[in-house]
Amino acid sequence: MREDTGWDASPYQWAAAGYMGAINSGKTICGVLFGASIYLGYLSGIGSTDAPDLKDEKRVNAIRSVNELFNEFIERFGETDCRALTGCDWSKKEDIKRYFKDEIYKDTCFRQFEYAVEKCINEKSLANR
């Protein structure tokens, strides 16, 4: 996606670098949804020179695409809360160690990431029509 946007990879990789385990609490949305929402908002605003107005058509499109992302995520994974999705309390060191040792991310975060990337690519193809 970085290549598609023309972004220099280095500075943007840091945009959400502090968002691990829902800010080490697990009590907020999955980081995959957080990142995909930002990308979908960016995608909707391509070509705009001003910040979005309340009823701007591009803003309405951004809201629609993010709502679809979340609703379909919930249908597929049952939840958006990081702790519920991973079974890890990110405020506990032993849970963080277990997450990496048991490779919990392979059956949770990786599947959720694949879903979000697919949604973003589909949305991008719609935007290019």
Phi first, then psi: what are they for 92, rounded to 5°?
-110, 125
Give the model's pLDDT for residue 10. 58
Pick out the chain residues at pLDDT < 70.
Answer: 1-26, 128-129
The predicted structure's pLDDT at residue 68: 95
In sequence order, the 6+-apart residues with CB closer than 8 A to the CB of 95 are 88, 89
Burial of 127 (0-12, 13-18, 19+ CB in 10 A): middle
The secondary structure element, H or E, covering residue 88 is: none
**Radius of gyration, CA atoms only, the chain:** 16
pLDDT confidence of residue 20: 61
Most distant pair of Cα atoms in the chain: their distance: 48
pTM: 0.80
Handedness of CA 119, 124, 127, 129 (dihedral sign): negative
Number of Cβ within 10 Å of residue 12's Cβ equals 12
Alpha-carbon distance of 85 to 81, in angstroms, equals 6
Residue 8 near residue 31 (C-beta atoms within 8 A): no
